[in-house]
Structure 1
Amino acid sequence: MERSPGSAIDSVLAKARAGVRRLTPEETLAAGRRGALLIDTRTETQRREQGEIPGALVIDRTVLEWRLDPLSDARIPEAVGHDLEIVVICRQGYSSSLAAESLRSLGLWRATDLVGGVEAWLEAGLPLSSGPADVRR
């Protein structure tokens, strides 16, 4: 991803990450094993090319907040309260930081993301599957 130093998006990203403990691939795997919601926001093409994160729920970024807000009529069954541990996953760990910040603004205070995204997961040699994914619409 090509980024200009000092760009407006760099400032937005820094603000989204300020004071947030983001997780390594190994910490994300452990979080999923203890019951955290792993939320994959990658596109279908990215998932097909890179593989699926075992146990992750796939939620399109365009509906993420509605599906995870416990007070939303459009929530998924797992969105049972504001105390949920949520780890958002994207391809490289940029858009996931913005998505996690948006979830925290809804009161989902434990929302965070995977540092480096699925690319870091792959580099760590962690398990992937070829699907099928648990896609939530």
Structure 2
Amino acid sequence: MSDEPVGIDELLERVRAGYERLGPREAWAAASEGALLVDIRYAELRERDGLIPGALVIERNELEWRLDPRGSHRVPEAVDHGLRVVVICNEGYASSLAAESLHRLGLYRATDLVGGFQAWRAAGLPVET
């Protein structure tokens, strides 16, 4: 492993090579099969654009604390490391880094939504205002 710095584009490429990302329809299907959709967008974006029905809102700065099955601040849904999690940000960039961070905690089924909330909405999937 090199100590050479990498740019964000290269980092994203490396991170995303480690797991399979989902498109909007795949994320919708995964949710219907029990996957936990987790919206990490900040409040202003949620207020502006709406929410995905049934998605758990956990802002990015709390994600690891809330989803770590061993953590003292976990949400009730964080039952074990086999939990299927689909992380959703606004456009699918921050969610990739968040999914990789969840992998480091042992949540090996964590993934993210390609294109984020904007892709979900563009696909005509349900959104609450």
Q: TM-score scaled to structure 1, two decimals? A: 0.88
Map Cα deviations across residues 107-127 of structure 1 (whole Å, 9 max, x no partner): 000000000001111111111
- In structure 2, the partner of 1:18 is 17
Cα displacement (A) at 1:43: 0.9
Map Cα deviations across residues 92-136 of structure 1 (whole Å, 9 max, x no partner): 000000000000010000000000001111111111012xxxxxx
- In structure 1, the partner of 2:3 is none
Mapped partners of 1:129, 1:122: distance in 2: 10
Map Cα deviations across residues 47-71 of structure 1 (whole Å, 9 max, x no partner): 1111100110000111100100001
**Are residue 58 (structure 1) and residue 57 (structure 2) matched?**
yes
- In structure 2, the partner of 1:93 is 92
Percent sequence identity over matched residues? 59
Structure 2 residue runs of 5 or longer lacking an equivalent are 1-5
Structure 1 residue runs of 5 or longer lacking an equivalent are 1-6, 131-137
RMSD (Å), alpha carbons? 0.9
**Are residue 27 (structure 1) and residue 26 (structure 2) matched?**
yes
1:39 maps to amino acid = V
Mapped partners of 2:49, 2:39: distance in 1: 12
Cα displacement (A) at 1:19: 3.2
Helix, strand or coil for the counterpart of 1:12?
Answer: helix
Mapped partners of 1:54, 1:61: distance in 2: 19
Q: TM-score scaled to structure 2, two decimals? A: 0.93
Aligned length: 124
Helix, strand or coil for the counterpart of 2:71?
Answer: coil
- In structure 2, the partner of 1:81 is 80
Helix, strand or coil for the counterpart of 1:76?
Answer: coil
- In structure 1, the partner of 2:126 is 127
Helix, strand or coil for the counterpart of 1:87?
Answer: strand
Mapped partners of 2:74, 2:124: distance in 1: 33
Structure 1 residue runs of 4+, over 3 Å off? none
Cα displacement (A) at 1:34: 1.2
